Structure 1
Amino acid sequence: MNNKRYQWIIYIIASVIVVTIAVQVYWNYREYQLNKKHLISKVRQSLDSSVEDYFANITKSSFIITSNDSINSTAKNDTIKFRTKSRKLMFQKIDSTLLKLSEKDSTKVIFFGKGESSPRKNEGKRFPYFKGPEHFTKNIDSIISKVIVSFSKDTLDLEKLNNHISKEFERQNIHVKYALKLKYKTWFGRGDPETKSQSLNLENFPKKHLTVTTKSHSLPHRSKLELYFTNSTVDILKESLISILLSFLLSASVIASIVYLLRTINKQKQLAEVKNDLISNITHEFKTPIATISTVLEAMRSFNVLEDKEKSEKYVGMATTQTKKLHLMVEKLLETASLKQEELKLSKEPFIVNELLESIVGKYKMLNPEKVFNFDNNNGDITINVDAFHFENAISNIIENAVKYGGDKIYTEQKKTNKGVEILIWDNGDGISKNQKDKVFEQFYRVSTGNTHNVKGFGIGLYYTKKIIEKHNGKISIVYNNKGETVFKIELLND
């Protein structure tokens, strides 16, 4: 996968994530606004209902029909005369939608349709039970079905109204902080009306709030009742809770899937690069011994080397060395495959660790006389159970990497711990960067140097070392000393 194509995939995936989040935010915002409107409507309806309840209670305590009241159906306008506890009133046009009266003290009557139920059926409900003359009782259900009478002055008792609102909010499961404000007009003589107001719980009320105005017809003439409320976000979010959770789960699932896809693509890209690098290195590693063997065989055939015993043995020795090298490389690849399939079994025996380390360091010192090797044994002989063959190969891989990639001085140190032994190997070279210190233990991973072969290897040495150390119930990691040098740290436990 080329870099340009990979970049386009990144852009597309990022765009999908942004669009997904934007759509979910829009849906949640739209749902929030709808629920906000629903809450406002619910609060307004509760306020209207509370106002009606308030005036219904006033009606129950104020409405009395005297025994001599009657309906004069022969009159020009049907008329009902009755008394309240405080005044005598006359209602006219009782078959109209709004019952008019000779208004005194701002008293009014509202008519809500005909038929269906008699006053007796409404007993115990919002509307009061009326008593009157027999003629009135028999014919009232044919005249009106529901009548609300509002005997009011110019103002309301907001404290009493607040009790009705609290009960209605509790019944409707509305939990908001609210305040009330009543505006009304009064007249003095024939002059212009004066606007007055009264409020409840409005002191220090938050400036950021929602407002509803009651639409109840029971209010006094030219008055306006407003309810301010806040803390509405919690109630609105409760209404949207399921939608928000589903939206969050959907968005999280989509984003997680896309991120997983991106990581998979990135990993596949890295594997492709590693594979190409591995093939290139394997080709080079195998090409050298094969070319050497071919040259030896060609020389033996062309120059009658067989007649010269000394040359013959020399050429055969060269071919044998290269054959062993090929065999060793094949064995490493096969061992790596067996490690991945968990087929490798260790044969552990007690070994003195410092003697094993001295032997390995001595071998590399002889093969690389230009390098300086130091072995530090601070604790004398330490015996642990290891598979000598695989453990020696594991240590050799680290020292070999130090020879190939490191400086001219290579250090090995052994320390005894409470739980076992600690082995430290480092050199004075440039070392391994922190962003690559975990990757170097991955199979076939090599520090990218392009298609160059100044350093030999397949990128399986440290992977093999890590697996062998782990099979010995140990741990290998990369740390940095006070000089900033890269240190391979091996921790082994006593069995």
Structure 2
Amino acid sequence: MKNTPIRFLVVLGTLSMVAILVVQVYWVSEAINKQEEQFNRSVQMALRNVVESLCELNGNDIPSSDPIDQLSNNYFIARTNYKIDLSSLDYLLKAELQKRGIAQDYEYGVYDCQTDRMVYGDFVSMQDQNGKTKPTGKLPKLINDEYYFGIYFPGKTAGIVSSLGIWQLTSLLTLLILIFFTYALFVILKQKRLSEIQRDFINNMTHEFKTPLATLQVSAEVLENEASGERQKKYARIMRSELGRLDKHVHQLLETSVLDYGKSKAVVPIRVKAVLDRVVEPFRALPGIQWNEKINLTDECTISGDPAIFETIVFNLLDNAAKYGESLIRLTASKEAGLLEVKVSNDGREIPRKERTRIFRKFYRIHQGDLHDVKGFGLGLYFVRQGARSMHGKVTVVSSPDLTTFTLTFPKAS
């Protein structure tokens, strides 16, 4: 894979995940704030009613100003200006909080003016779950001499968070997506690194093979020319043939690596008919093969691209037709509406529908069990696809039990 798409994918994915995380944190924070505001209002209303009820029970006047103050996030006080009965306060607090659906554990106390200290009342568990919230056992007092009582919610924050419901689920899903994305990113980068190692190894290996192969080919040619007996000449010819086949594979690997890197040679006008005439020459006289050729092109018909790549593309298709066909190879070429079409057909076995896209993958070959009657690396059709794309063209395949046809299409033919 090229570096640019990988970088784009990483940056885009990271920005998307950061955006999702920021939005999730924002909405969860908003939900917590809304819940906290509602909780504070409910507690203040409950305490106001408690103060009014205490004043009515004792026959005292109800304070004219707001008697409720919130001293901290979870500590509230209520001024009564009169002495407070702890037993009545306990009953009224529980009743008012339950009426408003407040299920938070709390503890309360009453300020004693005579001793100038907070008299601890009790810890009240509204959920009947021992040990869920721990009481503090003491409450802070104000620096004044009024009668008031204080109520403290030690588990307020945890209780509000636990009441978020759907927001907890969405936060969990966001966390899972973040973990999955991080893992996927790690796998992609690891695969990219392995692909680069594989590509560098193949490139280095093929470059190292070129020099000894050339030396062996020259040596085999000398042996064939200087051989005294027919048997020696036969083995020399076999050596040259096999070395030529190996050199062809090495050349194909090198050309494929050039396309993988996105490097192309100078783009020049290609005289299509001349290239086709040169490429098809060795296939016209194949033994046991019916050759069918129809090239409806003028000598001046050209397309833009790399001549070597175009020649190799056509050669690979013809070579595959010779390998997999039984008795027929057909080549047709024509130009219509500014498009060049080159079709190569053979009468070999039908390519299964599910394999018709896979055969263009790098190193892919159709699985045929333990049968290896056709040699190769699985690079020929991969090169055809990549080469056609480098020239802004495409390759398609249509296969039936009687005929398989590969079609090359190139734009801007003139």
Q: How does the TM-score come out when normalised to structure 2?
A: 0.50
User: Which of structures 1 and 2 has the bigger CA Rg?
Assistant: 1
TM-score by length of 1: 0.43
